Amino acid sequence: MIKYALVCGFEHAFEGWFGSSGDYDEQRARGQIACPLCGATDIRKQIMAPAVAGTKAQAAPSAAGDTRRTMMMEAMGRVRQHVLDTFDDVGDAFAVEARAIHEGRSEDRGIYGEASPKDVRELIQDGVQVAPLPPEPPKKRQVN
């Protein structure tokens, strides 16, 4: 197996595992490699150092963890923004409205709002699909 550091046309970095370099070339040519963040298929390899283990090999800090965290935070921010832009805010009536939608007493649509932990547990126990809204992305620090 070969692990490549990849990047899409929007500069989202990610990793891909392939059986051989030929497998990567074939999949890329067929548009089968897509960015996990945005879905773009214009993918290219990034420059990376080979991982060579030796007797004095030490674990070097990796930027891969930071990259994955950044990608995850961007994706969660996009999900949050999509919900805020397209779903109905029902405020503290969330539990009542979610149950009404589930039971067919209200229009089937995406909603968000607030509910107590007890209300959320009861909704889940009754088979109503709910999920927490991703948190707001951290604010970028302003540099003087």
* pLDDT digits 0-9 by tens, 45-78: 987 766 666 555 555 556 666 778 788 888 888 8
Residue numbers in the chain where pLDDT is lower than 70: 49-65, 137-144
Residue 38 lies in a domain: yes
pTM, two decimals, is: 0.51
Residue 133 lies in a domain: no
pLDDT of residue 142: 44
Residue 91 lies in a domain: yes
Enter the tokens of residue 91.
Answer: 């405020």
Enter the tokens of residue 97.
Answer: 């409205």
pLDDT of residue 9: 82
Percent of the chain with pLDDT strictly greater than 70: 83
Residue 28 lies in a domain: yes
- Which of 71, 109, 72 is CA-nearest to residue 90? 109
Number of domains present in the structure of the chain: 2
Domain range for 115 is 72-125
Residue 9 lies in a domain: yes
